Structure 1
Amino acid sequence: MSLFKEFDQGCLCVRDVDNSGHGEKIVVGNYMGMLRVFSPHPLLEVQLRDPVIQVEVGKFFS
């Protein structure tokens, strides 16, 4: 399968997602529902039932 069918412009985010203070992690999600976190080696990989539309990190307010 082509990468261009699995990923879109909102599929990658680089932040200190766990607020550890030990540097930024790379977060990648795809339409197949795979979510991965790297730092620089894989920290987390989980297969979700639904597609990952976009990956964002930050403080969210209503």
Structure 2
Amino acid sequence: MSEEKPETTRERLRQEEWKKDPSGSIHGGGLPDFIGNLGWKGTGILILVLISGFIIYTAIYR
């Protein structure tokens, strides 16, 4: 008996919910689905890019 990873369980539940009400996701899943698809490494890189962009912006337009 093997346990599923939380990501796998979450994706399976999301797919089942989408099958029940496909019109509920007409505009996409939004931020939770985007971050969930990136994984923790992709999310970390995205956060670093946003922070470094903000720092560079404030340094240039000070």
Larger Rg belongs to? 2
TM-score, normalising length from structure 1? Answer: 0.23
TM-score, normalising length from structure 2? Answer: 0.23
Higher relative contact order by CA 8 Å / sep ≥ 6: 1 or 2? 1
